[in-house]
Chains A and B, each alone.
Chain A
């Protein structure tokens, strides 16, 4: 029937059917909304507002005739199908209603039967309850009797235990089953105590007490014997504690027992130090003697080795010593601490027998005990460390200290509040600072030794002519060996630097990462900045400067003891320090030790200043000493001669040649270490030209004036005018760090002495002429050394002028003759 209708029609039809059913059963509410949506259209044939008139009109308006015809057939078809649907539905519903009525009737019959069975069951249950009540009432009496009997039984058993207790204890005692005895006794103790007013119990109690007394005695004996193992011992103590032995006494005994054993260890350690008493000289002797005796006993190869060692070496090195200390003393100390804590502190805290303050008391005792023994151990270690004086191998000491420190950490873990590890750290710190001090003194003595070496090297005469003042052909090798000066300097500074580096490397071991104490705040901060940087490096540099300065002062005014070359060398060394070495060393130190500048530290500039000051002082002193040596020659030569009655000059005096030679060799010497320096420009031929000017054009009128009776003032006037325009000359003044300045200083000193000596003498005609010749000779050679040749001219001018004044018969020599004499040499 549905096959010829469209799908939409089919669904529409169904809905319509449902809608009608709903209407019938009054279920409008839920279908309302969709229905309203559809139903508004009056043309919807399924909607409730369907208006046939409108629908027909619409169809007629919209559709053609054929369409209307189709529509009409379709409508007829639908109407027919709807009618048949209606019929089917009515039929189906009727059948269902009939079957429901049948089912309800059947159920009514079944319920009736069940009700009867339930009544029967409740009657039975009531009967059972009655029976049970009667049974329980009959059994009541018997049950009470049984309970009473079992109570009596347990009491009897307890009594039996009590009566058997003495015998049992005795047996335990025989079998040495102390633990069992104690536990048995403990169980009985309270009861006995409670019933002790009954004579029979009193007897038992007395017996037991006697036995336990014996047992305690035995335990004490065992405890005292000491030979027992730690485990036995601890068991022993545990039992005694349970026997109400006073804990304090036990602690004391335990500790004193442990002490005796630890003291054995300490004695062993002490024995290793003892054979070497503090004074070093006999120590060394003892070492030698012992080594020689061993050599006599067994001609082994170790005796020469021992002899060759400069420092006294005990038969065990420090690492061994510390090792032994750690393995024996520290580890047994740790054992003692653990077992003690196990027994008296941890146990007491958990155990029921603990009186309130046992742990505190025990702890206090332990602290005192550990402190006391550790103090003795530390004093031994310190003594041993102090013996460690040789600075050769630092790693051994550091490793020993490390081990020492590391092992003490175990004690720290066991005894958290103890001062022992801190004091151990203090010892390490002390050892480290002591070491730094030793290194400083080692560096200082090294420096002094190398200075002595340098001095010796300077003092040994070199046979090879050092190419020094050879330009005169004179014997120039008389003075020290200048050629080796730079080598000496470089080797000296290199060896100082190397030494510092190696010391730094040694000290650096203290702060190595794998060393336990290196992360202590002291080793991170103060040790690096104060200990190493300030106390070691800075102090050493200061020492170098100071000892150098001392050469200027202690050597006396004659300069006698210190060779001038050494002064020069040291001044250059200090200058090098100032320019590079100091900052290099300090940077190296700062880098290696990661110095944190928390404390005020000496800045590099201050040290450099000090070094520069020392260098300046040394160089000034050098100038002074060398100047004095030449001055002395000139002074002697002027003072010892009779200038009035001298012969006509034919030669330059030998002393002048000597002066020039010495000046030349000083020049070479200084030139080896110092740079040339700046000088005022002069022509290559300046010696001759300026001298002739000074001698002929200026000097002659001065002579003329001086013996013209009419105008005595002119002399002074001329020289005063001359002086007005020349700068004042400071004779002993500071020099600069270059060759020219040094040479100028020396020549100034020499010529000024010459001048003053000339002024104290009286000259004859030939005396004056000799001075003229000498001055010309000096003029020829000295100008080349000084920064400003006018200075030489001026001073020589003054000398000749003064000599002319002091001359009885001033008739100067011809300039040409002077030149001839001088060139002849």
Chain B
């Protein structure tokens, strides 16, 4: 059962922003945003052909500036948001905007993929997610599994809930929440919870994690000193509503039960430098992906705190097929939390990692030097989870 070799794709520019095309459930597709101060920035649409292990890329221009964060709409494949830096008059301004990909973005790529002379198409701006009072967006979050009408942007110390209207060409702030306290507080990242009817949001600023109720825009919980240093990223367990993973500059990944925020449920300390991204697998929440600036990507199997702590629960139908011995196998091998695999294909800091929205066993990671690596969950583990 040899695992497939990782597939590597190199971008010309440095890059930090990576997302799966959330609304796409058939093709394995990732979007990468580049960072370049001198050239027009691009959004690379990476299509992965699972059968042939081949990558197809399409490039769209993102001329507004270098991309720090990118997010795809969960409803419309063609819509995405980006947070970018704009330099004007020797000033650097952070902005956020909603974009639409041109409808025929993949029309000519097949004809002349290596044609360097061809002019890439440009993204179509739908609307800005800024107003005069709120700038410096750190990230934009789509409502999970929503209809693509609501987004939240985190700008400085504000969380803004936007309603997108008229096929996303108009955005209005419907409510805001403000972080108040001493000094210059700034949200670094956030996550919209898919649970509780999508009425909760978790944000990170400095070493603190906060939970917000979107209906009242008020704080519902606060984990002070969640990490020893800056919290870099958050993710909600897709299947267990109170479970939250966080990572930060103390090289740790922590798992929290937000009902009891005094102590983390579990702490992972596998990385040897800051952890920049943590992602639960969308279907099998024991699989957790972490990316770190030690140039490593680590896939962990956190069985004990997953929604399937005793392995895959066999349905009655399956049982009726006489798989008793198979059941015994399950009880024999104790399921332990463990690191499944450490991926060392990157040579620079890995700032982003994402699971594919189409294939739950496939994920992409992006390092600063522009290297995108697509990997699969090891087959042995995959079969153990499935069977």
Residues of chain A having any CB pair with chain B under 8 Å: 556-558, 628, 644-645, 706-707, 709, 712-713, 716, 719-720, 723-724, 728, 730-733, 752, 756, 759, 762, 764, 805-808
* Contact between chains at A732 and B273 (CB < 8 Å): yes
Is B274 an interface residue, CB under 8 A from the partner? yes
* Contact between chains at A752 and B348 (CB < 8 Å): no
* Contact between chains at A557 and B272 (CB < 8 Å): no
Stretch at the interface among B8-16, B20-28, B152-160, B305-313: B8-16
Residues of chain B having any CB pair with chain A under 8 Å: 10, 12-14, 36-39, 85, 87, 90-92, 225, 227-229, 250-252, 272-274, 293-295, 344, 347-349, 368-370
* Contact between chains at B293 and A752 (CB < 8 Å): yes
* Contact between chains at B38 and A759 (CB < 8 Å): no
* Contact between chains at A762 and B87 (CB < 8 Å): yes
List B contacts of A762 (CB < 8 A).
37, 85, 87, 92
Alpha-carbon gap, A565 to B294, bound state (A): 28
List A contacts of B370 (CB < 8 A).
716
Output the nearest chain B residue to A645 by Cβ-Cβ distance: B90
List A contacts of B294 (CB < 8 A).
728, 730-731
Output the nearest chain A residue to B10 by Cβ-Cβ distance: A716
List A contacts of B227 (CB < 8 A).
557
- Minimum Cβ distance to chain A for residue B238 (Å): 28
User: Which 7 A-B pairs have CB atoms at the shortest separation, nearest pair first?
Assistant: A557-B228, A731-B273, A730-B272, A723-B347, A762-B92, A712-B12, A732-B272
* Contact between chains at A644 and B92 (CB < 8 Å): yes
* Contact between chains at A756 and B10 (CB < 8 Å): no
Alpha-carbon gap, A761 to B323, bound state (A): 58
Q: Would you mind naming 12 contact pairs between A and B with Cβ atoms under 8 Å apart?
A: A556-B228, A557-B227, A557-B252, A628-B228, A644-B90, A707-B38, A709-B38, A713-B12, A723-B347, A731-B273, A732-B251, A756-B293
* Contact between chains at A628 and B273 (CB < 8 Å): no
A712-B12, A808-B37 as given contacts; A759 in contact with B272, CB under 8 Å: no
* Contact between chains at A805 and B92 (CB < 8 Å): no
- Other-chain contact of A764, B13, B90, B250 (Cβ < 8 Å): B90
- Which applies to chain A's interface (DSSP): helix, strand, loop or mixed? loop
* Contact between chains at B348 and A723 (CB < 8 Å): yes
- Other-chain contact of B347, A644, A712, A720, A732 (Cβ < 8 Å): A720
Alpha-carbon gap, A716 to B8, bound state (A): 15
* Contact between chains at A756 and B349 (CB < 8 Å): yes
List B contacts of A764 (CB < 8 A).
90
Output the nearest chain A residue to B271 by Cβ-Cβ distance: A732
* Contact between chains at B91 and A644 (CB < 8 Å): yes
List A contacts of B349 (CB < 8 A).
756, 759
Alpha-carbon gap, A707 to B36, bound state (A): 11
Alpha-carbon gap, A691 to B340, bound state (A): 42
Alpha-carbon gap, A807 to B368, bound state (A): 16
List B contacts of A732 (CB < 8 A).
251, 272-273
Known contacts A712-B13, A756-B349; 17 additional CB pairs below 8 A are A556-B225, A557-B229, A557-B252, A558-B228, A644-B91, A645-B90, A645-B91, A707-B38, A712-B12, A716-B10, A720-B369, A730-B272, A764-B90, A806-B37, A807-B37, A808-B87, A808-B90
List A contacts of B347 (CB < 8 A).
720, 723-724
- Minimum Cβ distance to chain A for residue B95 (Å): 14
- Minimum Cβ distance to chain B for residue A307 (Å): 45
List A contacts of B38 (CB < 8 A).
706-707, 709
Alpha-carbon gap, A730 to B39, bound state (A): 33
List A contacts of B229 (CB < 8 A).
557, 628
**Residue from the set A556, A557, A759 with the largest chain B CB neighbour count within 10 Å:** A557
Alpha-carbon gap, A554 to B38, bound state (A): 48
Alpha-carbon gap, A707 to B272, bound state (A): 33
Alpha-carbon gap, A474 to B10, bound state (A): 48
* Contact between chains at B272 and A733 (CB < 8 Å): yes
* Contact between chains at B369 and A716 (CB < 8 Å): yes
Alpha-carbon gap, A733 to B270, bound state (A): 11
Alpha-carbon gap, A712 to B14, bound state (A): 10
- Minimum Cβ distance to chain B for residue A714 (Å): 10
Output the nearest chain A residue to B87 by Cβ-Cβ distance: A808
- Other-chain contact of B272, A644, A716, A724, A731 (Cβ < 8 Å): A731
- Minimum Cβ distance to chain B for residue A665 (Å): 23
Alpha-carbon gap, A597 to B90, bound state (A): 79
- Minimum Cβ distance to chain A for residue B127 (Å): 25
Alpha-carbon gap, A731 to B10, bound state (A): 25
List A contacts of B36 (CB < 8 A).
712
- Minimum Cβ distance to chain A for residue B385 (Å): 30
Alpha-carbon gap, A733 to B294, bound state (A): 11
- Minimum Cβ distance to chain A for residue B182 (Å): 16
List B contacts of A713 (CB < 8 A).
12
**Residue from the set A713, A716, A731, A732 with the largest chain B CB neighbour count within 10 Å:** A716
Output the nearest chain A residue to B14 by Cβ-Cβ distance: A805
- Other-chain contact of B368, A706, A712, A759 (Cβ < 8 Å): A759
Output the nearest chain A residue to B68 by Cβ-Cβ distance: A760
Alpha-carbon gap, A752 to B349, bound state (A): 11
List A contacts of B91 (CB < 8 A).
644-645
- Minimum Cβ distance to chain A for residue B260 (Å): 19
List B contacts of A759 (CB < 8 A).
349, 368
- Minimum Cβ distance to chain B for residue A329 (Å): 57
Output the nearest chain B residue to A729 by Cβ-Cβ distance: B294
Alpha-carbon gap, A556 to B252, bound state (A): 13
Alpha-carbon gap, A707 to B85, bound state (A): 19
Alpha-carbon gap, A807 to B12, bound state (A): 17
Output the nearest chain B residue to A719 by Cβ-Cβ distance: B369
Output the nearest chain B residue to A559 by Cβ-Cβ distance: B228
Alpha-carbon gap, A596 to B349, bound state (A): 58
Alpha-carbon gap, A719 to B293, bound state (A): 16
List B contacts of A706 (CB < 8 A).
38
List A contacts of B274 (CB < 8 A).
756
List A contacts of B85 (CB < 8 A).
762
Alpha-carbon gap, A719 to B295, bound state (A): 14
List A contacts of B39 (CB < 8 A).
709, 712
Alpha-carbon gap, A720 to B371, bound state (A): 11
Output the nearest chain B residue to A734 by Cβ-Cβ distance: B272
Output the nearest chain A residue to B85 by Cβ-Cβ distance: A762
- Minimum Cβ distance to chain B for residue A522 (Å): 42
List A contacts of B90 (CB < 8 A).
644-645, 764, 808
Output the nearest chain A residue to B351 by Cβ-Cβ distance: A759
List A contacts of B228 (CB < 8 A).
556-558, 628
- Minimum Cβ distance to chain B for residue A751 (Å): 12
Alpha-carbon gap, A316 to B128, bound state (A): 90
Output the nearest chain B residue to A712 by Cβ-Cβ distance: B12
Alpha-carbon gap, A731 to B275, bound state (A): 12
Alpha-carbon gap, A10 to B252, bound state (A): 144
List B contacts of A709 (CB < 8 A).
38-39
List A contacts of B251 (CB < 8 A).
732
* Contact between chains at B92 and A728 (CB < 8 Å): no
Alpha-carbon gap, A230 to B38, bound state (A): 118
Alpha-carbon gap, A377 to B232, bound state (A): 70
Alpha-carbon gap, A486 to B181, bound state (A): 44
- Minimum Cβ distance to chain B for residue A746 (Å): 14
List B contacts of A723 (CB < 8 A).
347-348
Alpha-carbon gap, A556 to B4, bound state (A): 42
* Contact between chains at B87 and A728 (CB < 8 Å): no
**Residue from the set A628, A724, A732 with the largest chain B CB neighbour count within 10 Å:** A732
**Residue from the set B12, B13, B38 with the largest chain A CB neighbour count within 10 Å:** B38
Output the nearest chain A residue to B38 by Cβ-Cβ distance: A707
- Minimum Cβ distance to chain A for residue B303 (Å): 25
Alpha-carbon gap, A709 to B344, bound state (A): 31
Output the nearest chain B residue to A731 by Cβ-Cβ distance: B273
List B contacts of A628 (CB < 8 A).
228-229
List B contacts of A756 (CB < 8 A).
274, 293, 349
List A contacts of B250 (CB < 8 A).
557
Alpha-carbon gap, A759 to B367, bound state (A): 13
A723-B347, A764-B90 as given contacts; A752 in contact with B273, CB under 8 Å: yes
Alpha-carbon gap, A723 to B294, bound state (A): 13
Alpha-carbon gap, A558 to B87, bound state (A): 36
List A contacts of B272 (CB < 8 A).
730-733
List A contacts of B92 (CB < 8 A).
644, 762
